[in-house]
């Protein structure tokens, strides 16, 4: 494991510096994040707050794959949207509390990820991205054709928020946010735990030098497949919560543009940081909501301009650049 830690030094040293030298700073950061999450619906419209939370987990799930294993997926909408549909179908036809439906959707996403990942991880770079994109578009086509089950272009409507008979949660978006937030936080904790485990160090080593990791005896494809499935499961949790929050599921949730949007969020915040995905998601969702409420039609133009600006001025993303400057200051 020491050799793996050395191979993944670019990320491991940063984690060691933050966690080992001043652990209280990490605790303060986590506490601030928790306070912001708890207070968010008091400052923004509760449904928008729920969208931020769901997209944040989705971005963190993608960053787990992209930032810590070096695999760029353009097909993660398959897990976000696939879980959304399954969550909606479970909630509608079985009438179970929405956390159970969301877990069912996440399980479906993980099962779906096994064959997709098995075929995809044998490729790398742009080829991996294109294979995942192809599978996601196949699922989009299937969902469109199975209109008797998914609603087709009309979408799956009337997804209930059943929550153990508590009417306030089922009817009020403010209370629903706090009922769904533990699911999001559980997903965030799972991603953090994966990154800060021996398994996470192996992923970083594979990202930095896959041939060396293979020479040390690690089954690179197996590790890639495992993290792919874990990332899909977390994406499924986010997609399920998103579906229940909106009360419907539409075909765009499976479209490649959704995969592109979560990649945008991850890059904006900073690849390989986890926190960056949260910041990128909050920025994009709040910006889109503000522009939509103001009647502006060119949302894509503005978000594209923001993306270009951040890429030019903050090479590591917003959070990645801030962390790099902080670490550089401490070392000087």
Give me the domains of the chain, ranges plus CATH numbers. Answer: 2-331 (1.10.3470)
Distance between CA 61 and CA 80 in Å, rounded? 10
Six token digits for residue 133? 């994109």
- 124 contacts: CB under 8 Å, gap ≥ 6: 71, 210
Which of 145, 81, 91 has its CA nearest to residue 112? 81
* Whole-number pLDDT of residue 266: 92
Distance between CA 125 and CA 327 in Å, rounded? 30
Six token digits for residue 109? 């996403």
Distance between CA 72 and CA 269 in Å, rounded? 16
| Long-range interactions of 301-305: CB distance < 8 A, separation 24+ | 303/264
Six token digits for residue 254? 């499976």
* Whole-number pLDDT of residue 22: 63
Taken as a whole, the chain contains a residue count of 332
Phi, psi of 132 (to 5 degrees): -65, -40
Query: Within the chain, which residues score under 50 in pLDDT?
Result: 1-21
Classify residue 124 as exposed, middle or buried by CB count within 10 Å of its CB (0-12, 13-18, 19+): middle
Helix axes 46-69, 275-293, angle to 10 degrees: 140
Distance between CA 86 and CA 88 in Å, rounded? 5
User: 248: helix, coil or strand?
Assistant: strand
* Whole-number pLDDT of residue 32: 86
Which stretches within the chain are classed as H helix?
2-7, 9-16, 23-43, 46-69, 77-94, 98-120, 125-145, 147-150, 167-171, 173-195, 198-215, 220-246, 256-269, 275-293, 299-313, 318-331
Q: What is the largest CA-CA distance in the chain?
A: 63
């Amino acid at each position: 494991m020491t050799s793996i830690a050395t191979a993944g030094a670019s990320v491991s040293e940063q984690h060691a510096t933050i966690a080992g030298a001043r652990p209280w700073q990490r605790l303060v950061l986590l506490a601030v994040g928790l306070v912001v999450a708890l207070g968010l619906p008091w400052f923004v419209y509760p449904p928008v707050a729920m969208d931020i939370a769901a997209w944040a987990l989705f971005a963190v799930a993608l960053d787990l794959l992209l930032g810590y294993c070096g695999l760029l997926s353009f097909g993660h909408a398959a897990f976000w949207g696939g879980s959304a549909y399954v969550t909606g179908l479970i909630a509608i036809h079985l009438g179970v509390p929405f956390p159970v439906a969301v877990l069912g959707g996440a399980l479906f996403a993980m099962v779906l990820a096994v064959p997709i990942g098995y075929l995809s991880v044998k490729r790398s770079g742009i080829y991996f991205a294109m294979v995942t994109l192809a599978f996601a578009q196949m699922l989009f086509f299937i969902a469109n054709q199975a209109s008797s089950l998914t609603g087709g272009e009309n979408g799956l409507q009337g997804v209930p928020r059943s929550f153990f008979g508590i009417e306030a949660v089922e009817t009020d978006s403010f209370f629903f946010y706090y009922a769904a937030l533990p699911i999001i936080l559980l997903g965030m904790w799972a991603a953090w735990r994966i990154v800060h485990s021996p398994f996470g160090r192996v992923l970083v080593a594979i990202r930095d030098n896959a041939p060396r990791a293979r020479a040390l005896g690690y089954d690179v494809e197996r590790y890639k497949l495992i993290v792919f499935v874990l990332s899909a499961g977390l994406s499924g949790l986010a997609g399920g919560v998103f579906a229940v929050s909106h009360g419907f599921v539409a075909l765009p949730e499976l479209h490649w543009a959704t995969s592109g949007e979560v990649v945008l969020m991850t890059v904006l915040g900073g690849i390989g940081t986890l926190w960056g995905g949260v910041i990128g998601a909050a920025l994009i969702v709040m910006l889109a909501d503000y522009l939509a409420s103001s009647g502006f039609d060119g949302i894509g133009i503005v978000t594209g301009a923001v993306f270009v600006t951040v890429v030019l001025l903050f090479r590591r993303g917003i959070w990645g650049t801030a962390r790099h400057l902080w670490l550089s200051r401490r070392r000087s």
